[in-house]
Amino acid sequence: MKIVNPATGATLANVPADALKAVHAKYQRARAAQPRWAARPIARRLAAIREFRAQVVARADVLARTLSEEVGKPLRQSRNELNALTARLDFFLAESARTLRDERVFASAEQKLEERISHEPLGVIANISAWNYPYFVGSNVFVPALVAGNAVLYKPSEFATLTGLHIADMMKAAGVPEDVFVPVVGDGATGAALLRQPVDGVFFTGSYATGAKIAASAGRRMIKVQLELGGKDPIYVTDDVDVKAAAAAVADGAFYNTGQSCCSVERVYVHESVHDAFVDAFVAEVKGFRVGDPLDESTYIGAITRKPQLAVLQRQVADALKKGATLRLGGRVLRRKGHWFEPTVLTDVDHSMAVMRDETFGPVIGIQAVADDDAAVDLMNDTDYGLTAGVYARDERRGRRVLARVNAGTVYWNCCDRVSPRLPWSGVKHSGIGLTLSTYGIQAFTRPKAWHLRAA
């Protein structure tokens, strides 16, 4: 498999991909190794994750550079991802033992009865991952899965393979047996081969289109399936905000990671009384974003990781303009080596346009005026997705009232594009099923076993 730098078109590496036979051999090794791993005391499994964290810190410069080269992410943002990864690992290190401890839920001397719950590992799990935040979306799964005693067949995205191999190398150096954390390298065909193995759970991060196929293939097998999928995340800006500050924050939420985040702001609704001032401030902010070499420290907008996405962005802009939108900034593919798209701002948009309905996953945003909070709520909920949604409002009660009516896994008041390890990460509708992070996301990789214990 050829690994290409999306910012330059240069070949970075050629990596052998795993075909069905190789995937099956890896599965068998993982199956054989898992019981020994699960039998280790949790403190020893956590010690390996602590060492993995030390490896991440020690190798941070190389890891950040590799990530920027293979996905086109600005170097600063790659570093941010690695820093936040260590915070995430700290959460798992601090909370896992307590969360996975056996629970005694009932005890009666009179009835000579005790009832307990233990948290058993699922066994061997498939972790099929995305490229946009490979350290985040990967670690949300493989870290708690390993801590709980599972073996993990980890398929990084074909667009983040070198990062996936770094992760495997660090796991090995940290003392996780090679057959317990196993990288499976390749594209969708390799992912499909992995799903043909009799794994005990499938944990997928990626697009709705692929997620729907995976759910269908796993459905008949009665195994645990978790899907973290896309979004069309809205922000509503009310009329009582500091317009400039809100515009700067929302622009960052829309364009950070070149708009290629699952929780990027994908559509903006602004109260009509502040709409024009907001748009002016927003456009001024976006004009200040430096587009360029991802390895340059001052770059804010990097390359589009997957070439086919350029056509999606072009189509969404053309469709909006045809239906009456106004182009305030950008709108075109940049003519240079690699895959690049201008930061693009559209106004006078509505829900007849794909840019307000379909996941954009790039540096393109539509801003729509709304008359009041009710209209904003209706539009925010008018979507197939439900990952995150946010409100910028000075008045907390008003902000919370709006958010209570929005159907999404995560809601934000005066913030956006934010993930916390302490809170569950989940979506509704086409944004997925199941969750990662928080103590629920530690238990997600176990099944509760019920113990009825009656003394003789």
Those residues whose C-beta lies under 8 Å from the C-beta of residue 243, and which sit 6 or more positions away, are: 237, 274, 277, 278, 281
CB 391 → ligand NAD: shortest distance, Å? 21
Q: Which of 228, 266, 348, 417 binds ligand NAD (CB under 6 A)?
A: 228
Q: Which of 330, 386, 427, 434 binds ligand NAD (CB under 6 A)?
A: 427
Residue 333 carries which DSSP code?
Answer: B
Tell which positions 357-376 bind ligand NAD, by CB under 6 A. Answer: 359, 361
267-296 binders of ligand NAD (CB under 6 A): none
CA distance 107 to 320: 64
**Helices then strands, each counted (H, E), the chain:** 14, 20
Q: How far is the CB of 166 from ligand NAD (least distance, A)?
A: 16
Residue nearest to ligand NAD (CB): 191
420 contributes a contact to ligand NAD by CB under 6 A: no
CB 3 within 8 A of CB 15: yes
**Which position among 66, 68, 96, 132 is part of the footprint of ligand NAD (CB under 6 A)?**
132
Determine which helix (DSSP H) or strand (DSSP E) holds 160, and give its type and residue range.
none
Q: Give the integer Cα–Cα distance in Å for 49 and 89.
A: 8
Q: Which stretch binds ligand NAD (CB under 6 A): 42-50, 249-257, 280-288, 425-433?
A: 425-433
User: Are 14 and 1 within 8 A, CB to CB?
Assistant: yes
Closer to ligand NAD at the Cβ: 123 or 432?
432
**Residues classed as catalytic:** 228, 262
Give the integer Cα–Cα distance in Å for 148 and 277: 51
Complete DSSP assignment for 245-283: HHHHHHHHHHHGGGG-STTSEEEEEEETTTHHHHHHHHH
Min dist CB 71 to ligand NAD, Å, is 10
Position 6 contacts ligand NAD (CB under 6 A): no
Between CA 46 and CA 147 the distance in angstroms is 6
Q: Indicate whether 256 belongs to the interface with ligand NAD (CB under 6 A).
A: no
155 binding ligand NAD? (CB under 6 A):
yes
Q: Which is nearer to ligand NAD, 307 or 394 (CB)?
A: 307
Spatial separation of the C-alpha atoms in residues 121 and 104, rounded to whole Å: 19
Residues contacting ligand NAD: total by CB under 6 A: 32
Q: Contact region for ligand NAD (CB under 6 A) — 79-87, 127-135, 317-325, 374-382?
A: 127-135
Q: What are phi and psi of 433, to 5 degrees?
A: -135, 150
Tokens in use for 345? 């701002």
Q: Of the listed pieces 4-12, 46-54, 146-154, 189-197, which binds ligand NAD according to CB under 6 A?
A: 189-197
* Residues contributing to the site for ligand NAD (CB under 6 A): 128-133, 137, 155, 157-158, 187-188, 191-192, 195, 205-207, 210, 213-214, 228-231, 262, 359, 361, 387, 425, 427, 432
